[in-house]
Structure 1
Amino acid sequence: MRVRFSRQGGGSRPGCIGLSVLAVAMMAAASANALAQDLVYTPINPSFGGNALNSSHLLGLANAQRDATASDADDELLGSAGSIADTQSSDADLFVRQLQGRLLSALAAQVTESIFGDNPQDNGLITFGDTTVSFERTLDSIALTITNTVDGTVTQIVVPQLVTSN
């Protein structure tokens, strides 16, 4: 920066007023307080405390970057062919699995009623199709034995029994 002083008027020192103004301006700039504040990190993701309005935007970005799709999962279930016959067979298989699940749930309810119901039994045997469930209550546990009569597999479950003192 180049400062040029010129003499105008009859002062005893050339550029004295200009130098004074410059000195005052430099001291004012040097003495100004520097203002700052703490930096605070605010997460963007609402799962980590960020703004909840960001959730739909972040979900859209995640879905756009995702490689796998629901149709990929369907292709794995249907196999490589993915024909209508495969879909119908898959629907039938799904129905059979759901029906079997409901029937097994009813069997489980029957076993539970026999063990814990209004008229609890100390032991019993319940047969449902190819599955046989036998149970025996002891002082501190209930032993269940589940037998598949077709292939002979046996599963044993021991459930601790809640013992309360009166």
Structure 2
Amino acid sequence: MKHVFTLTVLLALLSFGRNAHAQDFVYEPKNPAFGGGNTFNYSWLLSSAQAQTTIVDPASKANATAPDPLANFAASLNQQVLAQLSSRLIANQFGQGAIKPGNYTVGTYQIQITPGANGIGVQVTDTSTGNQTTITIPNGF
């Protein structure tokens, strides 16, 4: 009896069963670094990895402490004092008004000022190292 019931259930399952269909599996890598992956996946993979990382970069500016307002004030004050000092030194060296063409020596710097068609050319030479910097100030300034 037990065998007849098992045989009946098995025949019933076979008669109600459908044909199975299958397809081939095709491997396609997602990451372009792993040979053949789609290059358009790169930015998505990178942003996904960066969003999941829990490692904090110690050198990032986002982790830096907020700037101290008192330190900012001191730095601003120092810049203003140095700007005033440099203005006075330039006025003492070159006189008031526009800088006159010619050669000037300030410490180890040789400064040559020449007027040109494009504006005023300023060539600064460090006589101790031989380094040169050329600046052109356009007409109208």
TM-score, length basis structure 1: 0.30
Of structures 1 and 2, the one with the larger relative CO (CA 8 A, separation 6+) is 2
Greater Rg over alpha carbons, structure = 1
TM-score, length basis structure 2: 0.35
